[in-house]
Amino acid sequence: MGAHHPANGPPGGTASREGNGAARTLLGSLTGPGQRFWVLVVLVGLIAGLGAVALLKVLRFTQQLFWRSTGEDFLAGVAEAPTWRRVLIPILGGALVTLLTLIVGRPLRGHGTAGIIESIWVKSGRLSLPRALLRGLVSILAVALGAPLGREGALLSTGAASGSSLAQWLRLGPGQARLLVACGASAGMASAYNVPIGAALFGLEVLLGSFALELFGPIVVSCVVATLVSRGLIADHPSFVIPHYTLLHPRELVLAILLGICVGVASSFYVRGINAMSDLLDRSAAWLAPFLPLLSMTVVGVTAVWLPQLLGNGYDAVNAALLGKLPLSLLLLLPLAKLALTATCAGAGVPGGLFTPSLFYGGLLGGAFGVLAEQVLPGGAPSGAYALLGMGAVLAGTTHASVSAVLLIFELTGDYPLVLPLMLSAVVSAAVSRRLEPESLYTAVLNRRNVRVPATVPHWLRQEGARALLKPVHQRVAPSAPLQEVLAIMLEQPLGQDLYVTDDQGRYRGALVLDQLKGHLPDHSQLHATIAADLMDVRVSPITPGLSLGEVAARFTETSLERLPVVDGQRRLLGTISKRDVLTQGTF
Amino acid sequence: MEHTRMLHGPARAWSIVLMSLLCGVLSAILLHHPPPSVPKPPPRPERPLSSEERRSMYRMWPMFQGWPLPQLPPDTPAPENRTPPPPGPSR
CB contact under 8 A, A95 and B22: yes
**pLDDT higher than 60, residue A375:** yes
Q: Determine the distance in angstroms separating the CA of A286 from the nearest CA of chain B, rounded to an integer.
A: 5
Q: How does pLDDT run across A183-218, given as a tens digit for each residue?
A: 999 999 998 888 899 999 999 988 988 888 888 899
Angular region, A245: left φ>0, alpha ψ -120 to 50, beta rest: beta
CB nearest A72 (choices: B31, B33, B44): B44
Instruction: Specify whether the CB–CB gap between A403 and A416 falls below 8 A.
Output: no
CB contact under 8 A, A72 and B41: yes
H and E: helices and strands count for chain A: 24, 5
**pLDDT higher than 90, residue A358:** yes
Please name the residue of chain B whose CA is at the shortest distance from the CA of residue A96.
B23
Contact with chain B for residue A295, Cβ under 8 A: no
Kindly report the average pLDDT of chain A as a whole number.
85
A75 Cβ contact partners less than 8 Å away, ≥ 6 residues apart: A308, A309, A316, A317
Distance between CA A334 and CA A304 in Å, rounded? 11
Contact with chain B for residue A420, Cβ under 8 A: no
Please name the residue of chain A whose CA is at the shortest distance from the CA of residue B17.
A99
User: Whole-prediction pTM value?
Assistant: 0.74
Domains defined along chain A, listed by start: 6-233 (1.10.3080.10), 251-456 (1.10.3080.10), 461-585 (3.10.580.10)
Q: How does pLDDT run across A402-447, given as a tens digit for each residue?
A: 999 999 888 888 777 788 899 999 999 999 999 999 888 888 888 8
- 3 state SS for A558-588: CCCCCEEEEECCCCEEEEEEEHHHHHHHCCC
The pLDDT score that the predictor gives to residue A451 is: 76
The pLDDT score that the predictor gives to residue A455 is: 59
**pLDDT higher than 80, residue B52:** no
The pLDDT score that the predictor gives to residue A165 is: 93
Q: What are phi and psi of A139, to 5 degrees?
A: -60, -45
Q: How does pLDDT run across A471-525, given as a tens digit for each residue?
A: 888 888 899 888 888 888 888 877 777 889 998 888 999 988 877 776 666 566 6
**b/e per residue A177-211 (b: at least 16 CB within 10 A):** bbbbbbbbbbbbbbbbbbbbbbbbbbbbbbbbbee
Q: What are phi and psi of A112, to 5 degrees?
A: 90, -45
The pLDDT score that the predictor gives to residue B41 is: 58
Q: What are phi and psi of A453, to 5 degrees?
A: -90, 130
CB contact under 8 A, B16 and A102: yes
ipTM of predicted assembly, 2 dp: 0.72
Chain B residues whose C-beta is within 8 A of a chain A C-beta are 2-7, 11-12, 15-16, 19-20, 22-23, 26-27, 29-31, 33-38, 40-41, 44-47, 60-61
B7: chain A residues, CB-CB within 8 Å: 102, 286-287, 290
Please name the residue of chain B whose CA is at the shortest distance from the CA of residue A237.
B46
pLDDT band per the 50, 70, 90 thresholds, residue A1: very low
Distance between CA A58 and CA A136 in Å, rounded? 11
- CA quadruple A417, A420, A426, A428: dihedral positive or negative? negative
DSSP string, A31-52: SSHHHHHHHHHHHHHHHHHHHH
B45: chain A residues, CB-CB within 8 Å: 241
CB contact under 8 A, A80 and B35: yes
A105: chain B residues, CB-CB within 8 Å: 3, 6, 12
Distance between CA A112 and CA A246 in Å, rounded? 36
The pLDDT score that the predictor gives to residue A237 is: 63
Three-class SS of residue A473? coil
Please name the residue of chain A whose CA is at the shortest distance from the CA of residue B37.
A68
B61: chain A residues, CB-CB within 8 Å: 416
Q: Determine the distance in angstroms separating the CA of A517 from the nearest CA of chain B, rounded to an integer.
A: 54
pLDDT band per the 50, 70, 90 thresholds, residue B42: low
Element (H, E) at A510: strand A508-512
pLDDT band per the 50, 70, 90 thresholds, residue A23: low
Instruction: Specify whether the CB–CB gap between A68 and A79 falls below 8 A.
Output: no
Q: What are phi and psi of A124, to 5 degrees?
A: 55, 35
**pLDDT higher than 80, residue B47:** no
CB pairs < 8 Å spanning A and B: 91
CB contact under 8 A, B38 and A77: yes
Contact with chain B for residue A418, Cβ under 8 A: no
Distance between CA A510 and CA A210 in Å, rounded? 41
